[in-house]
Amino acid sequence: MCWSATADLVAGSAITAVGVACVTRAARTRPRAVPLAALPLLLGAHQITEAVIWNDSGGHGPAVVAWAVIALPLLPLWIPAGVLCVARPRARLRVWPLLACGVVTSAALAYALATRTVTATVRGHTMAYEIGLPHAGFLVAGYLLATIGSLLLSGEAGLILLGSLVGAAAAVCTALWRWEFVSTWCAAAAVCSLVLYAWTRRAAAAAPGAR
């Protein structure tokens, strides 16, 4: 989420370009890493979708639904599943429960999206999304465990760094969003995408046959 349609579009395009580079590199050298390497593509699409929402001045149209699908049920399932694909055998034992947590959280969020209306509202330099989630505290906890937790327990230095950055960024960005000062999620997404790019680059260098 950025503070304007232009910022979202620029950030989304840049993040998508990083995602293309990540997927291309992972597909050549470490195919099991492709799901995680594709994360910047999701984040870039997320930003570009929000640019459409800004142009529509919020509301509850198809772009809002698409934004919510990526943000809510998709990410808590995608991230732990991607981590499980690349985790070492011992680390997988730690990630499996977090994937299960992500499945439950994703299912609950998908049900909420199917039965409720998501509304986007411009508030200052931020875009606020409202859906009225039941048991929101439990869902947020499950979401954070599945996403940040799986990265921190992955056993891979680059992904542990990514998890730490996501956790710190979530705290800072949420505070700024609550004050309706400015939305900085796009900057956080850009930094995380660059960390993923560096991770895929190191993985490529360590792959058998790499020079």
Cβ proximity of 180 and 188 under 8 Å: no
**Containing structural domain, residue 17:** 5-206
Global pTM reads 0.90
The alpha carbon of 23 is separated from its chain's Cα centroid by a whole number of angstroms, namely: 16
Does residue 176 lie in a domain region? yes
pLDDT computed for residue 125 by the predictor: 75
Identify the pLDDT of residue 132: 86
**For each of the chain's 211 residues, which pLDDT tens digit applies?**
677 899 889 999 999 999 999 999 999 999 999 999 999 999 999 999 999 999 999 999 999 999 999 999 999 999 999 999 999 889 999 999 999 999 999 999 999 999 999 999 988 778 888 988 888 889 989 999 999 999 999 999 999 999 999 888 777 766 555 544 445 567 778 888 999 999 998 876 666 554 4
**154-157: Cβ within 8 A, 24+ apart:** 154/83, 154/86, 154/87, 154/91, 154/95, 155/87, 155/88, 155/90, 155/91, 155/94, 156/86, 156/87, 156/88, 156/91, 156/199
Count the domains in the chain. 1
